[in-house]
């Protein structure tokens, strides 16, 4: 699909740089209907050539550019509501492979105004639109319009015209890159007005199909979230909780149902409410702030200590007594508590999909985030609910002897190792440097070495039974564990360890990285031995004392500084919206960026810029900004760049890769997490190709 979109973009841009006839398949006419002196209706009519169509104002953010209207604000008149449109055709668009609303042959848009001036006046503005036929599309175009309107003799006073740029139902071409934001905010209200003015349309069918696809995508994302490092170790906690009482199958199954439903309710209801009341960046707080991450780390340590036999986790007596009184209700409170704990602990790994949904919710679109949260949570809760609903699957393990205890001990080692991920996120975000990559690896090597020693019977806890012999499954598991230890050892000197890239701190968080040193030396040689890398930065990057790029790349960590250097060197910008706690970012860097073809293009063709959206470094007051998105003051590096990503691209998930020219305009469609190296190379090549065409 992404290759199709890139190919489509090339087809769109080629006509602009050729000597062939310029296509102009849509003509606009503008009329005024004024039956009352105090009110007028402005008609904006688009007439398309045969086979061509103009898109509606109501277009999904990832679709084509919607038709938008910008009116100059004036004290002589005021806009009444949004721009209304007639009944569109709803069908699958082959250019974008999605169901879209458009107008064939003719489109009529209406904007009512209230007249507050006695004198005649002119309403000015711009319509921005995109048109396509079945084979090609014309890039978005601006058309200026003027309406000559008669004054209202009944107006109470004469006012002077003070033109101020304003948008009605959309944005101008100058804000093309933010079109998705405006469309998302106008989507819900415009739909209600459209139906009220023109009657119910076929848009409901398209909306249903769009919601279904969004539900399915969210469902798949929920399944994928199960195998993340924050979620997978929660399974033994679930098993331990629901195995404590197997005397009543009915009770266990009722608790399992409550447990699964609680996960769905928490994600769907509370998640959406958080988005509406606190904004999308609250997800960033839970996943990167030191307080929740240290708290999650301590939870894992406590559970690990319990599994290793240090103590048994028991509820306080007053809670136990209260639970006994409600035994006939199946212990629903405990099931809900376990579900709530799961949601909190897993949030730092489920953040990308949940964060994307929260952006929609915070932007005013309520139905879509509810559907997305429902699909995600349903898939996410499914395996946990099944484990809880069928405890016999696990209770069938030997109850006597040391086998079951050995399983708990192994799980304890895993809990201890995986819990370090949370402490590592806080450490990276706040630059404590108490858990650098080599320190993290050293702890993991020791933990898994001790696990291997336990499996072969060389390490014994006081509650373990004697091990007269080692079973074949146990020795196979020991071989796997010791092999894993050997695999990790080269990482102490900078080996990328690609299979663990999502679990470990990045190589940039390591004091001695042999791999990066070698790559930088090679880059210097390729640059002619001049003592600098091929990127040739204009000046010292801000924040370079605590932020680093992987694989020895040189680049910036501030957008404005990168843009200035791009203009000076006449190079395009590669922006990497990333985060210290971003698991998928580390996987992309380890598996895609490390490819020689990718590294060569990044070094030679782009001004590489990494914008960390979760960094907690405070800035001086003169660098604070007030967000246009949520009106809050942003005081840290991470909050400023997170707000930049949301307001500019309507996305808050990472990684997110954007290619811009020296004026900050998109060169091609941005990319997200995708381990297809060839597709990433094509993405970079398309950006430089379009940039070079601009220069001509």
Query: CB under 8 Å to 362, separation ≥6 — which residues?
Result: 275, 276, 279, 280, 630
What DSSP line would sit under 167-208, residue for residue? EESS--GGGGGGHHHHHHHHHHHHHHHHHHHH---THHHHHH
Contact indicator for 218, 353 with CB cutoff of 8 Å: yes
Rounded Cα distance between 226 and 340, Å, is 16
DSSP class of residue 75 equals: T
- Token readout for 518 is 């070698």
Contact indicator for 261, 390 with CB cutoff of 8 Å: no
Contact indicator for 572, 661 with CB cutoff of 8 Å: yes
From 96, 656, 632, 634, select the one nearest 355 (Cα to Cα).
656
Query: CB under 8 Å to 196, separation ≥6 — which residues?
Result: none
**pTM for this one?**
0.49
Bridge partners for 149 per DSSP: 121
pLDDT for the residue numbered 270? 64
- Token readout for 558 is 């501030």
At 72-131, the pLDDT tens digits run 888 888 898 889 998 888 887 776 667 788 888 889 999 999 998 888 889 999 898 888
pLDDT for the residue numbered 37? 85
Helix, strand, coil percentages in the chain from 3-state DSSP, rounded to 5 = 50, 15, 30
At 547-566, the pLDDT tens digits run 889 888 889 999 999 999 99
- Token readout for 270 is 């509370």
pLDDT for the residue numbered 236? 56
Per-residue CA distances from 331 to 205, 252, 270, 392, 670 (Å): 43, 9, 22, 19, 48
- Which of the residues in the chain have pLDDT under 50? 1-22, 158-207, 209, 229, 315, 319-320, 323-330, 348, 361-364, 394, 396-400, 529-535
pLDDT for the residue numbered 12? 38
Contact indicator for 66, 170 with CB cutoff of 8 Å: yes
Rounded Cα distance between 87 and 101, Å, is 9
Rounded Cα distance between 150 and 197, Å, is 25
Contact indicator for 287, 348 with CB cutoff of 8 Å: yes
At 413-461, the pLDDT tens digits run 888 888 888 888 888 877 888 888 899 999 999 999 999 999 998 898 8
Reported as half-sphere exposure (CB side, CA atoms, 13 A), residue 12 has a value of: 24
pLDDT for the residue numbered 238? 63
Contact indicator for 596, 566 with CB cutoff of 8 Å: no
Q: With the C-alpha atoms ordered 193, 196, 199, 200, is the resulting torsion angle positive or negative?
A: positive
From 78, 388, 418, 409, select the one nearest 253 (Cα to Cα).
388
Bridge partners for 90 per DSSP: 101
Rounded Cα distance between 640 and 618, Å, is 10
Can you list the domains of the chain with their CATH numbers? 2-199 (2.60.40.1250), 213-402 (no CATH), 519-695 (3.40.30.10)
Contact indicator for 8, 18 with CB cutoff of 8 Å: no
H or E element: which one contains 124?
strand 121-132
Per-residue CA distances from 538 to 37, 527, 560, 570, 663 (Å): 61, 15, 13, 12, 17
- Token readout for 673 is 């997490």
pLDDT for the residue numbered 86? 85
Query: CB under 8 Å to 228, separation ≥6 — which residues?
Result: 346, 349, 350, 502, 583
Instruction: Report the chain's terminal Cα–Cα distance, integer Å.
Output: 29
């Amino acid at each position: 699909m992404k290759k199709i979109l890139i190919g489509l973009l090339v087809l769109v841009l080629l006509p602009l740089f050729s000597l062939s006839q310029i296509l102009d398949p849509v003509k606009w006419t503008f009329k005024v209907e004024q039956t009352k002196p105090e009110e007028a209706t402005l008609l904006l009519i688009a007439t398309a050539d045969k086979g061509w169509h103009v898109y509606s104002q109501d277009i999904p953010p990832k679709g084509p550019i919607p038709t938008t209207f910008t009116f100059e604000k004036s004290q002589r008149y005021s806009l009444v509501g949004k721009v209304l449109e007639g009944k569109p055709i709803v069908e699958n668009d082959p250019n974008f492979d999605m169901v879209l609303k458009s107008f064939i042959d003719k489109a009529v848009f209406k904007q009512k105004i209230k007249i507050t001036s006695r004198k005649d006046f002119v309403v000015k503005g711009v319509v921005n639109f995109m048109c396509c036929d079945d084979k090609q599309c014309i890039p978005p175009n601006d058309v200026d319009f003027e309406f000559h309107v008669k004054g209202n003799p009944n107006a109470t006073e004469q006012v002077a015209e003070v033109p101020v740029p304003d948008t009605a139902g959309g944005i101008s071409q100058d804000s093309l890159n933010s079109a998705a934001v405006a469309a998302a905010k106008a989507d819900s209200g415009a739909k209600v007005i459209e139906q009220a003015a023109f009657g119910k349309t076929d848009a409901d069918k398209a909306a249903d199909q769009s919601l279904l696809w969004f539900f399915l995508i969210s469902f798949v994302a929920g399944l994928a979230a199960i195998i993340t490092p924050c979620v997978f170790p929660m399974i033994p906690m679930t098993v331990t909780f629901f195995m404590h009482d197997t005397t009543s199958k009915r009770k266990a199954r009722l608790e399992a149902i409550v447990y699964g439903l609680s996960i769905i309710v928490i994600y769907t209801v509370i998640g959406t409410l958080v988005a509406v009341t606190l904004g999308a960046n609250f997800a960033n707080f839970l996943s990167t702030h030191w307080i929740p991450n240290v708290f999650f780390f301590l939870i894992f340590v406590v559970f690990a200590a319990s599994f290793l036999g240090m103590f048994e986790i028991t509820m306080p007596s007053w809670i136990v007594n209260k639970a006994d009184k409600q035994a006939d209700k199946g212990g629903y409170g405990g099931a809900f508590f376990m579900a709530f704990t799961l949601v909190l602990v897993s949030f730092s790994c489920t953040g990308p999909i949940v964060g994307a949904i929260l952006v929609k919710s915070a932007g005013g679109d309520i139905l879509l985030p509810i559907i997305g949260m429902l699909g995600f949570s349903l898939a996410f809760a499914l395996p946990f609910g099944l484990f809880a609903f069928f405890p016999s699957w696990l209770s069938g393990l030997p109850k006597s002897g040391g086998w079951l205890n050995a399983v708990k001990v192994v799980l304890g080692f895993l809990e201890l190792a995986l819990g370090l991920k949370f402490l590592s996120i806080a450490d990276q975000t706040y630059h404590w440097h108490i858990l650098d990559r080599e320190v993290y690896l050293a702890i993991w090597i020791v933990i898994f070495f001790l696990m291997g020693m336990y499996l072969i019977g060389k390490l014994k806890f006081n509650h373990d039974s004697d091990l007269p012999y080692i079973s074949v499954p146990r020795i196979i598991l020991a071989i796997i564990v010791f092999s894993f230890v050997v695999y990790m050892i080269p990482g102490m000197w900078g080996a990328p360890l690609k299979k663990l890239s999502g679990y470990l701190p990045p190589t940039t968080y390591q004091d001695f990285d042999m791999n990066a040193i070698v790559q930088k030396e090679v880059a210097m040689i390729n640059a002619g031995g001049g003592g600098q890398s091929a990127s040739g930065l204009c000046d010292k990057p801000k924040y370079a004392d605590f932020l680093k790029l992987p694989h020895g790349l040189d680049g910036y960590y501030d957008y404005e500084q990168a843009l200035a250097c791009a203009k000076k060197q006449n190079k395009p910008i590669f922006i990497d919206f990333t985060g210290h706690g971003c698991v998928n970012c580390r996987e992309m860097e380890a598996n895609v960026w490390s490819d020689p073809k990718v590294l060569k293009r990044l070094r030679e063709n782009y001004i590489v810029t990494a914008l960390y959206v979760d960094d907690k470094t405070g800035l001086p007051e003169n660098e604070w900004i007030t967000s246009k998105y949520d009106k809050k003051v942003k005081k840290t590096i991470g909050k400023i760049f997170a707000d930049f990503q949301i307001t500019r691209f309507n996305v808050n998930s990472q990684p997110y890769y954007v290619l811009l020219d020296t004026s900050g305009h998109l060169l091609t469609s941005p990319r997200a997490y995708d381990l297809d190296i060839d597709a990433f190379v094509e993405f970079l090549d398309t950006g430089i190709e379009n940039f070079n065409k601009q220069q001509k």
